[in-house]
Chains A and B, each alone.
Chain A
Amino acid sequence: MPIDSPLTLLVLVPLLPLVAALVGVVFGRRLGGWAHLPAVAGIGASAAISLMLLAGTAERVKSASNDVDSATSVSVEGVTTLWQWATVDHPDLPAARPPAAVGSFSIPVALRLDPLTATMLSIITCVGLLVAIYSAGYMHGDPGYPRFFVLVSMFVFSMTMLVAASNFLLVYVFWEAVGACSYLLIGFWYTKPEAARAAKKAFLVNRVGDFGLAVATFLLWMTYGTLNFHDVTAADGTLLPGILGPARLHDAAGYVGGAVGAAICLLLLLAACGKSAQLPLHVWLPDAMEGPTPASALIHAATMVTAGVYLVARCAPIFVACPDALAAVSIVGATTALVAALIGTVQNDLKRVLAYSTISQLGYMFASLGTGTLLGFSAAIFHLVTHAFFKALLFLGAGSVMHSMGGVIDMRRFGGLRRIMPVTAATFLVGSLALAGVAPFAGFFSKDEILAALHGKGWPHAHAEHHEAGPAHHAAVGPAVLPATGFSAAGTAADFVSDTRVDAAAADSAAVVLDRPATWRVLFWMSLVTAGLTAFYTFRAVFMTFTGPTRVPDEAGHHAHESPLPMTGPLVVLAVASAVSGWWLFTTHALADFLAATPSFAAPAVAATAVPHAFHVDLAVQGTLAAAIGIVVAAFGHLGRRSDGPQLERFLGPLRTLFAEKFYFDPIYSGLIVKPLQALAYLAALIDRLVVDGLVDALARLPAGLGAIVRRLQSGLLQRYALAGALGTLLIVLALTWRMRS
């Protein structure tokens, strides 16, 4: 395979959906009912290319690790710079750290390919493709049919660019772009007031996070003097290390800690919280379910909301330099997971249950990222992958139910649907088993890894023998670079760095506030409880919807039926993926080994935390036990009964109100932020209308009055015009003469 071809193909991955979107914009009306074709074709081709790239990158990782040494961690990345977007050369531009190019600010439009990006691209395009196919059935007959597919294509374009971009400014641009697509899709039925309101809410809440990303970008540039991820070789041959390039990754003092480092990390965390709906910015996601269900599946479950996870994972070396910030990531994540799961237990709207479950699962990923270990990062991405499959499946299943029930989504109003829609019921059950973490299904393995990562931080000595058992992982081999020009691979001197890190940790132990075993133990138990709650609310939904006496709401009419093939097909595909992907990826360890070659994870500080692959029986038992308890309680409450019958919730007492009111986040925000701002806006509007407008109106009358005078001069009489010209000449000549004299 020629060296350049993967990088050329990489450009096609975002390009094809963009072309599809443009075709949809231009010809959408003409295509009418066929408007899904460009989107399906574009995203489909893009998915095929993504999978090829995934395979190619995996191949490269394998050959790189064979070439170097089996014991060395390798990193693989390819960067292609399309063009220089903006270049400002000025000697006064600041650069706090000398290696950065002083006096130049340059933003290349550069795309990168590494294991993390390849994984993300595959997930985005594959789920995108399935959702596009599904939507062809689901959105059929909607007046906005072409618009929907344009938006989906635009979203896939923006999201693939987001994960492929190789500098922070591009990431920011597409971070905003996916936000805009999300806004447009939530408000897709913009004539519905709730949808419009939900879209606005999502947009505004996301702005808070975007602000974080913007300031983090500024800080990164001030600190590192560049925004590139990759290293750049300047024209004069000097190497300008990027923020996440190999040169800085292997520099023991490459990343700042302290206040600046913590600020960068916390701002990035804020950004991630906004996009990934983590506490305290999670309030937009449940409302976002007002959008079309396929959009919810694609954007608000499988892909866009994982952008935050991606961002933190990508910035892993920056976070690892700040243990407290890492711990904060975990604390946010585990708390979100628990709170969202608690709220999810009392929701009656099927889509909202899934929305809270999404928030909760994303919380898991954050908890895992926060451990700062290779296991934690790869477990988070592992969970991201499996979650994308089973959550998209569940959402599409919920959409199928909604489609058939005439738009009703309140679980109390239907039951026993397994008899009406067997395919949906079966696939939904598979998705639920995966979500609940039941043994051979996908969620079980990824959740087990996350629990293992947390457990490893909470009880470090229990895992110590793993470290000793696997010395091969730490063997120090000098950096080795493959001759390939597009890709580079480098070995890491892992032990050396890990030693210095331990020393540094010892020295700083007084300063570290959050990163203590006790913290991690609490987080572990929170996660375990969350696992039980997850199983409970998932199966509560399954039992309420699909079991018990058959009941169909009036809105569905007499034609409640199984959904058409374009809808059930993707369900089946996703169900198969949800069933086997976890088992396959876990047992072969393919994903973890693959991801470990991502430059960010191959950084010595991260790679040093590698532990040998192991199946933690004790944790598996604990997790399964929690899930089993949840399912049993759900069965006790809801299995086989009328879904609006006696509910477990009454045992909760006042807590039920707390959960049902979603911990009062919305009223609190409304009272603390929205209402004061509204008052301020009202005041500003008043001043604007009375004072500013009054002034402007008065000023505007001036030209109008002047115009009336000037127009009177416009008599239409030639003699007067000539006279005016002559007088004007005289005046000018006299004035000039006077000026020259004086």
Chain B
Amino acid sequence: MTTPPTSFESFLLLGPEIALVLAALTAWLGGAFLGLRWGWPVALVGIGAALGIARLQPATAASAGVTLDAFSGFIRWLVLVLGGLLALVQSGDLFLSASSRGPGRHRGGTCEEAGTFLVLLAGLSLTGLASDLVTLFAGLELVSIPTYILLALKRSDARGQEAGLKYFFLSLVASALFLYAIVCLYGLGGSTDLGTIAARLREPAAAESLRALIPVALGMAIVAAAFRLAAVPMHFYAPDVYEGTSPGNAALLSTLPKVAGLVVLARIVSLSVPLELFWQAAAVLAAVTMTVGNVMALWQRNLRRLLACSSIAHAGYLLVGVAVAAAATPSTQQPADPAAAALLATSTLDGMSATLFYLATYAVATIGLFGALAYLGHRWPEWTSGSGPRPPLEEVALVDDLDGLSSTNPVAAFAIALFLLSLAGIPPLPGFWGKLSLAASALQVDWTAPVTFGSRRAAFVALAVVLVVNAAIAAAYYLRIIGAIYFRTTKRGVQADGGLAAGVAMLACGLIVLMVALQPIGLFTVASRAGSSMSRIVSGNTVGYVP
């Protein structure tokens, strides 16, 4: 397997990423030298250009260190769409600090943020494309470093700084762990190219002396990915950081790093290291993560902490699909019962596809939620005329702050309810289809085998049960918010003084949620194609490089 040399084609392949970086440079330099005050429109134009270039590219192609196939195409497409939505939320996220005196409306100079954000997107897209450990690591760092900057830029108060620092240090730990994992893999495979490593690992005579490195490499890579997914054991930062930063940043943190973490895990699956080990680790982490996230969220009163906990729980759901992908060889036997076979054939995705589908639906609903929070902005504190002057506006932070939103802002109330219901997995919203396909893919593992204790099938049946139970627990806190919005009344006036762009992002996410709810087949098809292209790599039919 020869790696084609870097060439002009490599640059063409990375066209969308290059467009993003060019837009970032425009924003930075324009802000510094040309008096450009609004960076986000530039960001949107850059994302649009990247989407346009991405459309022109072939479906599969490869060059040094990067491979474009259905999987990386899906990741790129997802990143750009989410990036567009996030750019809207970010630009509508007008607040400098949690106790700011009124909305910081006239906050120019967003060019730095926008440029940094664009680099982040470019890095994430590169992560999806990477077929080499070095490229992968470079992509991941291109995600992490801009994230630190964004966290530091957005909030200047103590909590914001604390959040930024916490994220920074823990992220460094995760990066270090991943570097160790890379070193181990290099030791195992003698190459940084993923395909070469996979081929070497499949050889029966792979050096026995080095096999001890496998658990180390796997464990460290998993923890590194767990940090980005906000999964156990690297989940602790999420509530603190989300609470400390702005809604826009929370939206970013709860979606884009998850994409990166998932790409890392998918690449590990594609290495076909002893997958028996891998799925067991992933399944245990999935069960623990979703349970921890959900029970933590159960009594949260702070909205952003609650959503952070919920994002932990969703990381657990995503891990279910990864475990299935690691466990199930793609040539899963068809069940004997024809009716069940028909059901499975029409309604289920394999593990990786289900995960990708779920990731997309989760990300859109979450961005919509944070967009709604950014849009709602501030509220008046409780105040009676006898008790002195009216205190300043406070940021919408608690579940109680949404009391009676249905009467004061019905559109936002409906949108929030829609997102929450989707996250809770209420049919026919996208979250339901996602959970359904995750659970179905778990049940599909070894479909014909009997459920005996300790068997793979038993483990996955148990995992599916844990998923469903967790979905029920999660419904409790999601519905609590909806209950506050629709069934309580309040004297606190929610101002809806956030940026209009955040409201637009909220509406766009709502529209996407409704569209996927009515016609899930489109996203199903795309996710299925992307996921099965990963499965093909696992099964050994590695996509040959296009000469």
Contacts and interface: CB of A to CB of B under 8 A. Distances in A.
Interface of A: 90-92, 700, 703-704, 706-708, 710-711, 713-714, 716, 718, 720-722, 724-729, 731-733, 735-737, 739-740
B11 interface: no
Given A703-B298, A707-B299, A725-B227, A737 B212 contact: yes
Given A713-B236, A740-B274, A721 B166 contact: yes
A413 B215 CA distance: 93
B219 A736 contact: yes
Contacts of A704: 295, 298-299
Contacts of B292: 710
15 contacts: A92-B342, A710-B292, A716-B240, A721-B170, A721-B237, A722-B169, A725-B170, A725-B223, A729-B223, A732-B285, A733-B220, A736-B218, A736-B281, A737-B212, A737-B216
Contacts of B277: 736, 739-740
A91 B215 CA distance: 48
Given A91-B338, A737-B215, A728 B234 contact: yes
A665 to B, nearest CB: 40
A725 B215 contact: no
Interface of B: 165-166, 169-170, 173-174, 177, 211-212, 214-216, 218-220, 222-223, 226-227, 232-234, 236-237, 239-240, 274, 276-277, 280-281, 285, 291-292, 294-296, 298-299, 338-339, 342, 473, 476
Nearest to A732: B219
A735 B281 contact: yes
A88 to B, nearest CB: 8
- The list of the 5 closest CB pairs from A to B, nearest first, reads A728-B233, A733-B219, A736-B215, A707-B295, A721-B236
A716 B158 CA distance: 14
Given A703-B294, A714-B239, 7 more contacts: A703-B291, A718-B170, A724-B236, A732-B233, A733-B215, A736-B219, A740-B214
A720 B234 CA distance: 11
Contacts of B165: 718
B218 A92 contact: no
Contacts of A90: 338-339, 342
Contact of A707 (B212, B236, B296, B338): B296
Contacts of A731: 233
B273 to A, nearest CB: 10
Contacts of B299: 704, 707-708, 711
Contacts of A92: 338-339, 342
Q: Tell me what chain B mostly uses at the interface: helix, strand, loop, or mixed.
A: helix
B220 A714 contact: no
Contacts of B214: 736, 740
Nearest to B180: A729
Contacts of B233: 724-725, 727-729, 731-732
A561 to B, nearest CB: 42
Contact of A718 (B169, B227, B239): B169
A90 to B, nearest CB: 5
A729 B296 contact: no
Contacts of B211: 740
Contacts of A707: 295-296, 298-299
Contacts of B226: 728
Contact of B296 (A714, A720, A724): A714
Most chain B beta-carbon contacts within 10 A, residue among A708, A722, A729: A729
A710 B280 contact: no
Nearest to B169: A718
A728 B223 contact: yes
Contact of A703 (B177, B215, B239, B295): B295
A185 to B, nearest CB: 27
A710 B290 CA distance: 13
A651 to B, nearest CB: 60
Given A91-B338, A729-B177, A732-B222, A739 B280 contact: yes
B529 to A, nearest CB: 22
Given A729-B220, A733-B216, A740-B274, A722 B296 contact: no
Contacts of A708: 299
Interface centre among A92, A708, A721, A724 (most CB of B within 10 A): A721
The interface centre, meaning the residue of B174, B215, B216, B476 with most chain A CB atoms within 10 A of its CB, is B215
A329 B237 CA distance: 73
Most chain A CB within 10 A, of B227, B277, B298, is at B298
A714 B239 CA distance: 9
Contacts of A740: 211, 214-215, 274, 277
Contacts of B473: 703
A477 B487 CA distance: 71
A588 B234 CA distance: 88
A667 B338 CA distance: 51
